[in-house]
Structure 1
């Protein structure tokens, strides 16, 4: 049967959330291969997504039209004979790709009035179109609505994103990185320390020291934005490992090999949750439901309910609550993927 093309998001967390739609499509059309278009960095994540056959990288940044590169990608896509394209991102730039590739069925929300470029819409698309301002529904719900055309069966939950790393690859990474398989590791994702999404640095350091004193390895994960935080943690805890300069593919192994994950709102938090790692995640007031992972093993901590809902600052989350949540998450048996 004709393969399916899913046009995903460039950001890590948003792209990971697209796997819910991929799981739905794989169940609806088990005989049709599924390929994705996303940013080059996300190709590293796509290879760990069940049901994804191939990931096509698109290098242009969000604000760049990049017609020359899109034409180059379109020439390759035309050779694949895709029958349907599912547009997770509701932009004209995204819709141009399947339109130029001649894919007959192009499904998505016409949020930028890309009628013609998109020719099939989920139920309730007009109401969605008129919902100006901040997003009214979770991104998770939007991508699942596109994949199902909003045909949600009664009493059936949409699936959560899922990433799976082959055990042999994880063992090979441990050997290459010199990681002790029997020593538990706490992976810390601080986010950008200048952002309101992050958590006070002195509290991250205190939690890291506590776990190190109890025989844990401490890994700081992320990318360039987290490198300054890694330096500050290592200044107080030299034995902590700074993984913020490693390739994105290795970040997947770091997350998959960790025994616990402590993080804030960001792409690494979605990846850790999808990898089934026990997670404690810190968010601003009333934001975890909208922006957080939907995997049900994640423990969210937010400022007290008395804090106004528009407060993004996380300083209201105490160190004591984080320690208790980490202990509870580690004590809970790790669930099987897909359960």
Structure 2
């Protein structure tokens, strides 16, 4: 009996993109249920990969963002060479992302044309942004034959929730199990042109508090200041958890919440993948590119003439694509 096919997926470097990569893993399993899939990605993303049933295991690529890390990639490749992969699927379009599969001698190396990767990628796919406008579509298409219909059908990500760990976190954080929680994700790693104003979040938290709901604010330590500002204006209606939880904890706690309000961010995709209904607010980006992959998502996007600009900071200095989305607009999208 032939051994199962083994595939190494070289993952992306952003939280939301890593969540969306699960759609590729699902597609590979749908077409070959016996396939064994490993994921090579930055170490911070391993807790996400562990919550993907389709992933056999995750490997840490210990390079910094933008770092070539020639020696580090060679050492990782030597380890992976012994596994005997049949194929590598390289999701990023950078040259450095294709190095490990090449060093490891994986015979079929699939990826899009980009950054002079001839030779490194030998199953080269043309990159057509018009036929594949969404990031998740681009990922899934790499797992299908070159002549497959585009855009391909996409299965939504579904991260596993650890209910036992969730119960422990409720106690450790001093939360009341009987309260109704609303998650806020006010940060955006990309930049302030994707962040709904802090004053708007604070006003929304006060309104939710009057309705008997409690706001849990999630984010990295970089978002702690924003979280504190919201709590400072909203009082007991909000709890700042930015920097107080690990990524795996956030997965479990988002599943606890009745709903979520979020910028276009990585945690938006996490909330969607655990099935939490959400309201996604878009400013400089567009839901046409990275929408929340959930049937329970509401999107607020004004579509101004200057939007999307995809800039980190508003080039016009007013960020009206965000400021003109009012608290009442968001509150109207949330269940009472």
Q: With structure 2 as the length reference, what TM-score do the two structures score?
A: 0.88
1:314 aligns with 2:315: no
Provide the rounded CA distance (Å) in 2 between the counterparts of 1:94 and 1:172: 38
Q: Which residue is equivalent to 2:229?
A: 232
Q: Which residue is equivalent to 2:241?
A: 243
| Cα contact 1:90–1:111 (8 A) shared by 2 | yes
* TM-fit CA distance, 1:295: 2.2
Q: Which residue is equivalent to 2:315?
A: none
Residues 288-333 of structure 1 deviation map (CA, whole Å, 9 limit, x = unaligned): 1212223232110012x55443466311212111001112xx7xxx
Which moved further from structure 2: 158-167 or 254-263? 158-167
Q: Which residue is equivalent to 2:207?
A: 210
Q: Which residue is equivalent to 1:6?
A: 9
Provide the rounded CA distance (Å) in 2 between the counterparts of 1:28 and 1:157: 13
* TM-fit CA distance, 1:95: 0.7
Aligned in 2, Cα 1:166/1:151: closer, same or farther, shift over 3 Å? Answer: farther
Provide the rounded CA distance (Å) in 2 between the counterparts of 1:13 and 1:310: 19
* TM-fit CA distance, 1:286: 7.2
Task: Please point out which of 34, 39, 45 is paired with 1:42.
Answer: 45
**How many pairs are equivalent?**
320
1:280 aligns with 2:276: no
Provide the rounded CA distance (Å) in 2 between the counterparts of 1:64 and 1:200: 33
Aligned in 2, Cα 1:201/1:68: closer, same or farther, shift over 3 Å? Answer: same
Unaligned runs of 5+ in 2: 310-318
- 1:1-339 pair list within 5 angstroms: 1-122=4-125, 125=126, 128=128, 137-152=133-148, 157-192=153-188, 195-239=192-236, 240-245=238-243, 246-284=245-283, 287-303=286-302, 305=303, 307-310=305-308, 313-327=321-335
Unaligned runs of 5+ in 1: 331-339
Q: With structure 1 as the length reference, what TM-score do the two structures score?
A: 0.87
Cα RMSD after superposing both structures: 2.4
Residues 20-58 of structure 1 deviation map (CA, whole Å, 9 limit, x = unaligned): 111101111211211101111111111111211111111
